[in-house]
Amino acid sequence: MFRFGIIVCAAFLLYPFFLPDDFYGRMAAEVLLAAIGASAWNILGGYAGQISVGHAVFFGIGAYAPLLIFTKFGLPPIVGVPVGILVSTAVTVVIGLPTFRLTGHYFSMATIAVAELIRLVISNWDYVGAATGLMGPAVARTWLDLSFRSPIPYYYIFLAVLACLLLLTWHLQRSRMGYYWRAIRAGERPARSLGVPVVRYKLYALLLSAGFTSVAGSLYSLMVGFIDPESGFGILKSVELIIIAALGGAGSLFGPLVGAMILVPLQTMTNSLYGGGGSGLTYIIYGGIIVLLARYEPGGLLDLWHRMMSRRAHRADVAAAKPHAS
Amino acid sequence: MTIIQVIASGLLLGAVYALFSSGLTLIWGMMNFINFAHGEFVLIGMYIAFLVVTYLNGGPLLFVGTAAVLLFGFGIVIYYGLIRHVMRGPILAQILSTFGLALLLRYLAFFIFKADFKTLPDTIFPGTVNIGGIFLGMPQLVAGGVALVITLGIHLLLKRTTIGSQLLAVSEDRQAAMLMGIRPDRMQAIAWGLSAATAGVAGALIATFYYISPTVGESLALTAFVVVAFGGFGSVPGALVAGLLIGVIQSLSAYLLGPIYKDIVVYAMFVALLWIRPTGLFGKAA
Amino acid sequence: MLLRAQNVSRSFGALLALSGASLDVTEGEIVGLIGPNGAGKSTFFNCVAGDLTPTGGNILFNDVDVTRATPEAHAKLGIGRTFQVPATFVELSILENVMVGAFLRHPDRNDARAAALEVIEFTGLKAVASAPARTLGTPGRKRLEIARVLATQPKLLLLDEALAGLTPSEVQDAIALVRRIHAKGITIVIVEHIMEVILTLAQRVLVFNQGVTIATGTPREVVDNTAVIEAYLGRRHARNAGAHAP
Ligand SMILES: Nc1ncnc2c1ncn2[C@@H]1O[C@H](COP(=O)(O)OP(=O)(O)O)[C@@H](O)[C@H]1O
Ligand SMILES: [Mg+2]
């Protein structure tokens, strides 16, 4: 297991050195970015079991902040990253707390409504560019603008952020926080009877989740250099975060990364196959995958994998126990 | 005078909202389950109307009837094929199931019919009616009237008929209903059929005066959420009152503040409702 | 007085599930709570555990008013409860279930784990500790329910039909477990349908019917009380009482 981990880490670190061209570098950077966003969603949706369908709000805030800081004040966009986190956190406290009084389907429905409201407001608010959105610096003024032609620097920045996020999640997962989250997901009533302050721990999950989703949004607009209401706050953004996490395995550490490694290349492929109109096909595939997942493998691919592995181990045990059986 | 005109057309639109929201609230009341694809069911109803009119030259009775029947069947298929298998599973699977379905249907429509707006010819219900100086479009009037009648019909169906009392028995207490010889699975399938049929009929009616495009389902679904939340979960009369109210509020805010505000105001009211009485929203205790 | 519940009422809409129930529990007691289905026993537990806010009356725990406190505050103060229908965290392992309880007093993971393992040993779940909780049947889940709440180190333990649905030999094991819990100095209020259990465990019994207390006393007194026999135990117990008579 340990050796496997080393090999995977090495593969991620060395991958850019074996690239045929920027196309694959860019796709790899997008995979990591998607994994960051989905891992951030995973803290609230996967571990704590609160299925937010409104995380685009945080992604959008994170994506707008750097470009707004740049267009309005001429500061390097990266200054917007902490601003995005701060605003997301504030939104979390203002909107998250009342929403948390709702549970299950009703919580999800409320998150959609809140996100759509914010998207509509942003689309009609001239200060933030209304429907057109915002642009970043056309050419990098200093390296602080983090505007690179090659995808490789983005790749390493994203890798570093993802590593930090996963390390933090791993640490929390095995501490009291993680146990309380999973208890809340399994049942709020029994969790409370065991002394779990449910609202407080849900809020912790939301704060972390919102903060890192905001970072994912910032990184997105730093790389792309452009943002509009649809790609920042659109409901499809929320859906993307969820499906990536759920495909790999919601509530597992590496689920979102696995999901991203499958879905992002798939999306790139369908888009290039069908050109501009391809996004329709992409979402047909998304929809199909989601339905099939929900119906057959709600635990995601990692869960399926673990079950297959333990079944194989079990068969091996049985075979070893009965050497004369055949 | 204009303001009365606006309120009147808001009421007619609201009646259609009430119709498809009553389908959503029926499912919620029975199974604590929100169908996130409900707006896309409405969308299917709209496209059925479009196809029947365009290719079969069918009249309103034919396309509304076709939408009702096909969607009733579709609802039952969705129940047996998908919902039944996820409804006792993890909450993520429950939510993803209809959410994925919504995406699938929306973008299938996009793939088949492309993004352009389609409309039905305005000869289906031609003209306007003048009621004491208020001018109302014939299509809106028919749609609103029919929607109102059907919504009341569903209410009566639930309250006055055997099938209605069986549906309610399952929603009250599944176990007890089973002991009384009612098959919950079958009743829930019927509820899904009915729910989808309300969406289909509403879609077919809306199509007579509204443009058809793959993304309209999304905002219609949100409207239905808001209606259901205001009307109380599981309550058809509640959906009726809230539907009319939301229709009027939308029309008024579009008229007084500008078209872009019609959704903003409604969603903002919804968020405010979350703030003020989040628990008071439930039709019955959670 | 460890617990002092005075005139506790709770209504659900028009239904008055509990109308003015009172119970005083001194430290070290085992109190039995009996009554027919729907008498309001679980509702009373829910009120005492903070899961439901009473619509009337008040509840003191160690002289602190907890009438309106949250369930988690109750747990923190030392009131633990099991649910009549086990509310197992099925996605977690048995050890993890118990650790959730243990984290209340042991914020550190290793401490919580050690404490949980101790409870698991104590409750006889050691052999299955690492198995997923969903693999347990009802008897196992009832036991896990007890283990989990013990891990929160309660002073007062409310057991809601923790022995229902067990086979006779499992019941004997469970009685022994309750005795061992009591021997640790934990005060217990137990709701149970099986009279034998109440007779062997409880020092004092309270009988509920339709939301009111209709009798209190030693198990013997209660069993011989005609009101109780009529209102709750009916003919079936009248027979049993005959068999017990000298
Ligand atoms: N959450 C609730 N909502 C409505 N009625 C309830 C609720 N909980 C209990 N009741 C009702 O209160 C009465 C007492 O129930 P309960 O306390 O569970 O009785 P017991 O545990 O003694 O069998 C019953 O009539 C029951 O139906
Ligand atoms: Mg009970």
Helix A56-73 crosses helix A104-123 at what angle (to 10 degrees)?
A: 20
What average pLDDT score do residues C16-27 get? 92
Closest ligand 1 atom number to CA of residue C40: 17
Q: C187-198 pLDDT, tens per residue?
A: 999 998 888 888
The answer to whether the CB atoms of B94 and A281 lie below 8 A apart is no
The answer to whether the CB atoms of C91 and A175 lie below 8 A apart is no
pLDDT at site B38:
95
CATH number at residue B12: 1.10.3470
Name the residue facing B93 among A112, A280, A294 (closest C-beta): A294
Q: Let me know if C64 is exposed, middle or buried by CB neighbors in 10 A (0-12, 13-18, 19+).
A: exposed
Helix (H, G, I), strand (E, B) or coil at B161: coil
- The span from the CA of A171 to the CA of B125, in Å, is 65
Q: How far is the centre of ligand 1, averaged over its atoms, from the C-alpha of C38 (Å)? A: 6
**In chain A, where the domains are located:** 28-235
pLDDT at site A140:
67
Tell me how many residue pairs between chain A and chain C have CB atoms under 8 A apart: 74
Name the residue facing C100 among A174, A175, A194 (closest C-beta): A194
pLDDT at site B17:
93
The answer to whether the CB atoms of B96 and A109 lie below 8 A apart is no
The answer to whether the CB atoms of A194 and C90 lie below 8 A apart is no
Helix (H, G, I), strand (E, B) or coil at B42: helix
Residue B240, domain member (yes or no): yes
Q: Measured on CA atoms in the order B200, B205, B208, B209, is the torsion positive or negative?
A: negative
pLDDT at site C233:
55
With tokens 């509530």, the residue in question is A251
Q: How far is the centre of ligand 2, averaged over its atoms, from the C-alpha of C45 (Å)? A: 9
The answer to whether the CB atoms of C72 and A197 lie below 8 A apart is yes
> Does B127 touch chain A if contact means CB atoms closer than 8 Å?
no
Residue of A44, A57, A106 for testing the chain B interface, max B β-carbons within 10 Å = A106
Q: B240-272 pLDDT, tens per residue?
A: 999 999 999 999 999 999 888 888 999 888 888
What confidence category does residue A275 fall into, taking pLDDT thresholds of 50, 70 and 90?
low
Helix (H, G, I), strand (E, B) or coil at B117: coil
Least confident of A19-33, A211-225, B119-133: B119-133
Helices and strands per DSSP (H, E), number in chain A: 15, 2
Q: Name residues whose C-beta falls within 8 Å of residue A285's C-beta, 6 or more positions apart in sequence.
A: A266, A270
Residue of minimum CA distance from atom 6 in ligand 1: C12
pLDDT at site B57:
86
Least confident of A170-179, B140-149, B200-209: B140-149
Judged against a pLDDT cut of 50, whether residue B30 lies above it is answered with yes
What average pLDDT score do residues C142-158 get? 96
How far is the CA of A30 from the CAs of A145, A198, A284, B274, in angstroms?
19, 35, 21, 36
Closest ligand 1 atom number to CA of residue C44: 17
Residue B63, domain member (yes or no): yes
Q: B209-226 pLDDT, tens per residue?
A: 888 999 888 889 989 988
- The span from the CA of C122 to the CA of C98, in Å, is 12
Q: Compute and round to an integer the Cα radius of gyration of chain B.
A: 18
> Does C38 touch chain A if contact means CB atoms closer than 8 Å?
no
Residue of minimum CA distance from atom 5 in ligand 1: C12
Nearest to A44 by CA among A185, A176, A166, A149: A185
> Does A321 touch chain C if contact means CB atoms closer than 8 Å?
no
What confidence category does residue A322 fall into, taking pLDDT thresholds of 50, 70 and 90?
low
The closest ligand to the CA of C33 turns out to be 1
Least confident of A258-272, B47-61, B131-145, C3-17: B131-145
The answer to whether the CB atoms of A108 and B89 lie below 8 A apart is no
Of A152 and C185, more confident: C185
Q: How far is the centre of ligand 2, averaged over its atoms, from the C-alpha of C161 (Å)? A: 7
Q: What is the ipTM of this complex?
A: 0.91
Name the residue facing A196 among C51, C72, C90 (closest C-beta): C72
pLDDT at site C245:
38
- The span from the CA of A161 to the CA of A148, in Å, is 17
**Which residues form ligand 1's pocket by a CB distance below 6 Å?**
C 12, 15, 17, 35, 37-43
Residue B129, domain member (yes or no): no
How far is the CA of C246 from the CAs of A123, C227, C236, in angstroms?
86, 21, 18
> Does C101 touch chain A if contact means CB atoms closer than 8 Å?
yes
With tokens 């699977």, the residue in question is B93
Residue of minimum CA distance from atom 3 in ligand 1: C12
pLDDT at site A326:
44
Report the mean per-residue pLDDT for chain A: 88
Question: pTM (2 decimals)?
Answer: 0.91
Residue B283, domain member (yes or no): no
Judged against a pLDDT cut of 90, whether residue A102 lies above it is answered with no
Least confident of B155-164, C52-61, C228-237: C228-237
pLDDT at site B282:
42
How far is the CA of A160 from the CAs of A44, A66, A151, A157, in angstroms?
22, 19, 14, 5
How far is the CA of B85 from the CAs of A84, A292, A295, B97, B168, in angstroms?
40, 11, 6, 10, 22
Of A306 and B42, more confident: B42
With a pLDDT cut of 70, the percent of chain C lying above it is 91
Q: How far is the centre of ligand 1, averaged over its atoms, from the C-alpha of C16 (Å)? A: 9
Contact C34/C219 with Cβ under 8 angstroms?
A: no
- The span from the CA of A19 to the CA of B278, in Å, is 53
Task: For residue A182, give how far its alpha carbon lies from the nearest alpha carbon of chain C (Å).
Answer: 8
With a pLDDT cut of 70, the percent of chain B lying above it is 96
pLDDT at site C22:
92
Tell me, letter by letter, the H, E, C secondary structure of chain C.
CCEEEEEEEEEECCEEEEEEEEEEECCCCEEEEECCCCCCHHHHHHHHCCCCCCCEEEEEECCEECCCCCHHHHHHHCEEECCCCCCCCCCCEHHHHHHHHHCCCCCCHHHHHHHHHHHHHHCCCHHHCCCEHHHCCHHHHHHHHHHHHHCCCCCEEEEECCCCCCCHHHHHHHHHHHHHHHHCCCEEEEECCCHHHHHHHCCEEEEEECCEEEEEECHHHHHHCHHHHHHHHHHHHHHHHHHHCC
How many Cα atoms sit within 13 Å of A72 on the Cβ side? 12
Contact A95/B270 with Cβ under 8 angstroms?
A: no
Judged against a pLDDT cut of 80, whether residue C200 lies above it is answered with yes
Residue B286, domain member (yes or no): no
* Closest C-chain CA to A182: C92
Report the mean per-residue pLDDT for chain C: 89
Residue B184, domain member (yes or no): yes
Judged against a pLDDT cut of 70, whether residue C240 lies above it is answered with no
Judged against a pLDDT cut of 90, whether residue B86 lies above it is answered with yes
What is the domain count for chain B?
Answer: 1
The closest ligand to the CA of C40 turns out to be 1
With tokens 């993803």, the residue in question is B96
> Does A182 touch chain C if contact means CB atoms closer than 8 Å?
yes
The answer to whether the CB atoms of A298 and B96 lie below 8 A apart is yes
pLDDT at site B284:
43
Q: A139-174 pLDDT, tens per residue?
A: 666 667 777 778 888 899 999 999 999 999 999 999
pLDDT at site A36:
97
pLDDT at site A273:
77
The answer to whether the CB atoms of A51 and B91 lie below 8 A apart is yes
With tokens 């008071």, the residue in question is B280
Neighbour subunits, B (≥3 Cβ pairs < 8 A): A
Highest average pLDDT, of A85-94, B19-28, B75-84, comes from B75-84
**In chain C, where the domains are located:** 3-243
Structure tokens at B249: 């509020």
pLDDT at site A325:
47
Q: A165-206 pLDDT, tens per residue?
A: 999 999 999 999 999 999 999 999 999 999 999 999 999 999
Highest average pLDDT, of B29-33, B78-82, C168-172, comes from B78-82
Pocket test for ligand 1, best of C33, C43, C51 (most atoms within 8 A of CB): C43
Contact C155/C79 with Cβ under 8 angstroms?
A: yes
pLDDT at site A197:
96
Name the residue facing A121 among B85, B218, B264 (closest C-beta): B264
Neighbour subunits, C (≥3 Cβ pairs < 8 A): A
Q: Which fold is adopted by the domain C3-243?
A: Rossmann fold (3.40.50)
Residue B284, domain member (yes or no): no
Closest ligand 1 atom number to CA of residue C160: 21
Residue B107, domain member (yes or no): yes
